[in-house]
Amino acid sequence: MSDIQRLQPGPLYSGAVIHGGTVYLAGKVSSDSSLDVKGQTRNVLEQIDATLAECGSDKSKLLSVQIWLTDIAAWADMNEVYTAWADADNKPCRATVESALAAPEFLVEIMCVAAR
């Protein structure tokens, strides 16, 4: 077990789990659900930056990203914020699909796997 580290413990899940050279992040939703989809995306990406930093990683080491939008029509707005944030030379794999999220006020959720 010594090779598994768990960060940001919460009632339902850990915010991040490190195993070997791989970092798994929980699906993140905006801490401010009054924001529009661009604002929520920005909020989520800031949480991802902070969590990756805690794990000794950063966005240039992202491997794979899953994005859920409650309304796929928000795809272009989410992408505008996402591509401004992404490391242009080190883009992870990605899939973006539509799903309802844990509460209706959440417009976007992002879950990542990164290298350390």
Residues that bind its own copies (CB under 8 A): 1, 3-4, 6, 9-17, 19-22, 24-27, 60-61, 63-66, 68, 72, 75, 79, 82-83, 90-102, 109, 111, 113, 115
- As a whole number of angstroms, the distance between CA 27 and CA 72 comes to 17
CB of 12 to its own copies, least distance (A): 6
- As a whole number of angstroms, the distance between CA 10 and CA 32 comes to 18
Cα 92-106-95 angle, rounded to 5 deg: 25
Decide whether 36 or 87 has the Cβ nearer to its own copies: 87
**End-to-end Cα, the chain, rounded Å:** 18
Decide whether 35 or 75 has the Cβ nearer to its own copies: 75
CB of 14 to its own copies, least distance (A): 5
